[in-house]
Homo-oligomer: A and B are copies of this chain.
Amino acid sequence: MLIDIQLLPIKFDPLSISAHTVAVIDVLRATSVIIHALSQGATEIIPVATIEEALSRITQFPEGTTLLGGERESRKIEGFDLGNSPREYIGERIKGKRLILTTTNGTKAFHLVSSGREILATSFFNIGAISHHCLDMRTDLLIFPSGDEGRFSLEDVVCGGMLIDRMLEKGKGPFSLTDASQSALILYERFKENLVKALRLSTHGQDLIERGFEEDLSYCAQVDITNVVPIFRDGVIRIR
Contacts and interface: CB of A to CB of B under 8 A. Distances in A.
Interface of A: 7-8, 10, 148, 151-154, 157, 178-180, 182-183, 186-187, 190, 201-204
A179 B180 CA distance: 15
Nearest to A5: B152
Nearest to A156: B179
B10 A183 contact: no
A7 B183 CA distance: 11
A161 B115 CA distance: 34
Nearest to A179: B154
Q: Kindly list the 6 A-B residue pairs having the minimum CB-CB distance in the complex, ordered from nearest.
A: A154-B179, A152-B180, A7-B7, A8-B8, A186-B190, A152-B179
A7 B7 CA distance: 7
Contacts of A203: 178-179
